Amino acid sequence: MAPRSAEAVDNLNLPNALSLLRLLSAPVLLWAAHQELRGFFLWILGLALITDLLDGHLARRWGQTTELGVKLDSWGDLTTYAVMVAGLIWLWPEIFAGEQWFVYLAIGCYLIPVITSLLKFRELPRYHTWAAKIAALLMAPAYYLLVLWAVAWPFRLVVLFHIWVAIEEAIITLILTRRQHDVPTLFHARETVRRQRRMLKERTERHRQLWGRGRTSADQSLHDTGQGRRR
């Protein structure tokens, strides 16, 4: 009971609360989009995007990174991007019609690493790569420029950058040998795999040496027993 109680206390922190708040904002945003409340939708979306910037940063700064927090952050990102697409379709259909192929490309770029991770590790990717953070940081102003002033080129550039984000995260998933989160770049993933292989090789070598010593000792014991019987 004690370890579970300690884990429950660790989960009660501000970063996790911010991630949960972003997750809970999704149905509110969907309701606002369905009711065609554009201003309210953009205000709540802005708050959700701010929590996305703060939760991970505060968790690392305060040493409050938890397994629950990482999962809440991943699910919060998924639902936030989903409601952004839904809001674009319901509230600004004319803009969606003009940018639909870029929207479909963005959806595809998001789904590729998600599906890859689900197939291999049975969970959402939780790498929080530097490229993904840059893309998320740029997507917020690009989205607002698109829906408020019909300025499309920043949104298109961010979507094109998402192609690299998707490729990098998919490759990271393919080369990792076990579940991992907070992998900044593909280079870090390769170094992690190399370190794991080196540790496995060293552990195997130690086991082989111990087994060899044990076998030598056993053979020596049998030899000594045989010599004693002859005497």
Confidence (pLDDT) at 213: 63
Confidence (pLDDT) at 1: 44
Confidence (pLDDT) at 228: 56
Largest CA distance in the chain: 102
Q: Name the pTM for this structure.
A: 0.82
> Taking the alpha carbons of 92, 95, 99, 100 in that order, is the dihedral positive or negative?
positive
Both tokens of residue 131?
Answer: 């490229």
Per-10-residue mean pLDDT of the chain, 231 residues long, equals 57 91 96 96 96 88 87 91 96 97 96 96 92 94 97 98 97 92 92 85 74 59 56 53
Q: Which residue matches tokens 């552990």?
A: 203
Contacts 24+ apart (CB under 8 A), 170-174: 170/112, 170/113, 170/116, 172/125, 172/127, 172/129, 173/113, 173/116, 173/117, 173/120, 173/121, 173/125, 174/116, 174/120
Q: How is the chain split into domains, by residue range? A: 1-91
